[in-house]
Structure 1
């Protein structure tokens, strides 16, 4: 643990320098020469040496240059990160190597309370808050790094609770928490590089226990990151992880997403965004001998704004690419969960980016506004590029454009810090910085080398400068006044109100030192200023006092303080004291002014100014009826013509105007809680909220912010602001309550999973559902309809379950599922056996086919006039041919519940009987050659003299016909078949009711 000696901190600066310089030199000597460029660990020897260095940096202090503040937290060992309590905007926690923690509850004064992890800690501190106000602080541990410990605090690190092992690994961890009110609210997620990939772990019980739910092989370089974003209407519904792989100077970022709170992850894409950052020095990226790396910083939009759910990736990379060039900061975004990405957008806006180094980014996306903040190191202000400032910007349009870059550190730092204490070539000087935000502003943390040390520094952005017109004054008892002017001379993109207040220290033991604000307490335009009247009244003990003037934003951030010295001296002579009773009135009411006199020689004359609204300006106690806040001055003249003057402020109040818009979700879930708020209103004394029936205000009634527990009734959230002068008109927001969805009904569709076949499955729509998520076995494919209540599925070869859940902003319903057996289509039919020539008006012809694989039935189709008399649905049928039967095809194919297979056909010629080779013509017939090629010879011997000759193909089509007359007793007819296609043909000769039928083949 880093040792802190508070007594030594007040030693002279010379001692500080003497102690630090030798350590810096020593660090250079003891760094491991085998420094592994694929790890970003700080060698244990350096960390051990750092523990023994006496920290003689000042206690938490403010560094003000050109009226802008940087907050100096002291000297640590670089590499810091920062977190902010989302419910208490001025509660910040920062941590730096090795275990240097700092916390503030007022946004100005920082305190140290390092937890005792009970093991050797190795640094890489990261931290995060959940929405309940639990702080999670993570640090690597082990003499040989074996993982990370997480310490939990419920009071911003003032005290520490449980400390547990969160994850195993060897290098570069990161942490994120779900700060939404979604189904995974307050889950905490962490990642870490392992020996053979990357690990992911989560806690679902506020850090009491942790479970490793996923590992990935694509992590090989430091820089595995995790963040949480919205998914469709599910708050915190997406957990993103990016791994850093590939080679050192050609990184591959691989993106994954979980839609179930980190239980399972799916691959989204692999991208080659980054190359060199600066120069290759001993296998590492380096800027001015400071080691660095293109970490893929990711964050996602959890707001209810235009770009809700958008995922961002920010990194540094040289432009133009290549070793030795200078890097820029690049931003990309994805609207489909990391599958595809926008083109790279240059964040830094310097005129000549190729001449300057921009690197070392840190990012944050505000969960209320969706504003994307980025800070980085930048050399644009140094022609030699050897010194840097911290710059920052933000985007309000989803990363499409960025506002004008602003320097937020107020003094340059020399980058190559030989006295800081880091080691190696290039030198370790911290591998990352941090940034966090609330709905108004961000705060950055970084390591600053301006003093030749690893100074831990923070600053606000946007921000305002603050100054006083004087830093000291003398006031006299028993009554005196002095006016100080609080100036806001400049801003860095700050456009909100500055609220001014003042206090004194020490508080006098008698009499009073008070502050009043004649022009109100708000500065709303810039540059701007505000007078503050300091009054000494009564027997204030003489001495030196400090007046502290504070300016802050409406939510308490940013906040700055300026001090002035008040010297109180005992006075004498002629004094007057003006009073008003009451000093605050409602518009239309009156106040009694009065002046009391100490010393002087009567009679006295009185002159009050301004005279507007006064009953009589020339008496001691006029009635004042101003219409606006007015400061009245009274001059009293005694008999010796000596004058004494005093003033009194009469504040005129009105009923508050209508509050601004109520911020908070307009779509909520039954039994969920949600925060609703308005901007605090100056002068308000009451806030009266109303909510629909069945909703309950859990906390916050009579304040600008309430927490509502929702029942089942939609309706209006309303607030009326009041003070002693009346009530404002209401401000309202309409809120729709959605129910937690029931399980879908039965899945309708086929009873089998038909392999390779498109099948439709559907459920009845569920009221209130916004989408439906279907799942099928691994080798099945959802071809269309994912997200709807009906899908088209191509089933694979495996039996399994088809399931569906309904989704809305309230989360997921229980599933509905069915188990299907994988079934293939029947195979193709084989050859059909049976007669190819049949007689009309004959029965009992048997046809069959070999059994067809996967067939549960057989479908036969017949020529017209034929019918199945037995065997329908089997592979063997008996067919009857009616007197009206004609020639045609007999077809058969196998069938099952998935469909039909390929058919087989058999041509059948239907003839008048007696049939083929059976004849009752009075002739003998010979066909030759058979098969025939070009010519078929038909020899007829007998007593028939007139014969009709017809040739048909197997389908019954007539190919040749001729009527033969006067046929001799021995006659040969040559028939040209050269135009016939190869195949089977039937020749039919007839006279009256006598027939002859024969078949022949054409073959070539």
Structure 2
């Protein structure tokens, strides 16, 4: 056995001359490790190892993780150098908070044994998967204007890797099924007017930071009847029109026809309108709105011309004297004049044109129409007509009903005089005779006789058609005669 020796130097030569050949074990004991290129390391020193683990290997962008290093075989205190993709960061600690990660970042930790003979080892690598924060999806399908109480469908845009979708609706909205899917079914409450739908998403476990907004509103109801004047609006100012409040509306949109101007800039249930002298007719419209939706419009037809005249009064049938008949109407608001016409032929307006009352001279039998329109600066109203069935007690020369008459009147045509002769000479009742032209103007009057025959001088009459009227005992007979 080789004797034990000691030395205080770094080098000692042992004398082995007296030792037989063979294998020997040498034990060296030192107070500190033996280092250097030719170091003799004590056989009892273990290998240095290091491993790391992280709190998560799949994270959302911007998220930090915690790394923990485990060391074995160190003699002195270990020194930790954490690395991201080989670049040192952090501090000398077995535990490290790791931030600023991108997808595919590789984390390692280099550990050095702080003993006299410094040893270094690199840990196992850990690769980090980083998912991007998803953008909130927009609503790609679904109405911005809804009907309260009716089921409505909304769909958000597809997001890759989506785990769930988030929906936020105005208060009182009811989900008809799941509330975290890409498509949802909802019903808005009866009280809903306007609001905002918000959408979000969680993809690859990462929630969107913000949400997408979508304005939505309830469709206003159709307004009720518009109250206000409808005719005679020529040069009419500050005419008021109004409706009752409309459900789901917070404002109102009024329009006026050409030639009319909206006066009230505020959009309320009441509106003032000015009408010019160029206004003819058109529609006033109004609809409810709420900043998101507009409802259907209610309209009111208005005219600048006067209203249609009321009923025409006057005889409509029976024996109508050809000397004229009066027809009239009540005054029409805003009318400045009146236009009368008579259709059916054989009739002439002899007086009153432009007023509410006219005299009509009928000169032939048959059906006629007496019509009138009210007028102002903007035009004529819708006409009002009255049907008249004329049955004149006319005697025509050579007619088949000569026996119906009491007098012979001749010649026809006449020149200087007209002869009136009683058919019954014994009839001595006094008769009254007038002659009028076709305008109703009397050209011969104040003639009376009880003679059986009477001549009426006509030298002063111009050529043309005349009507001879013979009145006796409450009865008047007429004869249409021509002077040549």
**TM over 0.5, shorter chain:** no
TM range (shorter): 0.3 to 0.5
Give the greater-gyration-radius structure (CA).
2
TM normalised by structure 2 equals 0.36
TM normalised by structure 1 equals 0.19
